[in-house]
Amino acid sequence: MTDDNGKQDSVTCAICGHTQHYSDFEEIVGTGWIPSYWEEDDECEGPVCPTCVQNRLKVGDDGEYEPNQSFLAELAKLRQRKAEENVVAIMRRWHGMR
C-alpha cells in the first residue's frame, strides 16, 4: 500500500548488505525477506535477505529464525576480532600517551 506512484524504495539486508529495490512493498513480501531474527533471547534487527535466510539462519524449536551453526561461528569470530581490535586500540592509546 503506497500512494507515491512508481517511487523506488529499497530494502537492505542487515547481514550481507544486499539491497533490493522495489516500487511496492507488496513486491518483496513473499519473496523470503524477514524483518528480524533471534540470537538466544536477543532480537536482531533485520531485514534479512532470502539468501541469508537460507544460508545463515534456521528455524528454531520455537518457530523463530535464529543463526545456524556456521553463522554462529561467523558471529563469534567477528565479535572476537572486534574485541581484539578494541584491545589493540586501547593499547595504542596507552602507548601514545607515554
Footprint of Zn ion on this chain (CB under 5 A)?
Answer: 13, 15-16, 18, 49, 52
Considering beta carbons, is residue 2 or 54 the nearer one to Zn ion?
Answer: 54
Considering beta carbons, is residue 20 or 60 the nearer one to Zn ion?
Answer: 20
Pick the closest to residue 15 from 80, 70, 59 (CA basis).
Answer: 70
What minimum distance in Å lies between the beta carbon of 49 and Zn ion?
3
CA distances, 67 to each of 40, 74, 76 (Å): 9, 10, 11
What minimum distance in Å lies between the beta carbon of 50 and Zn ion?
8
- At 50, the amino acid letter reads P
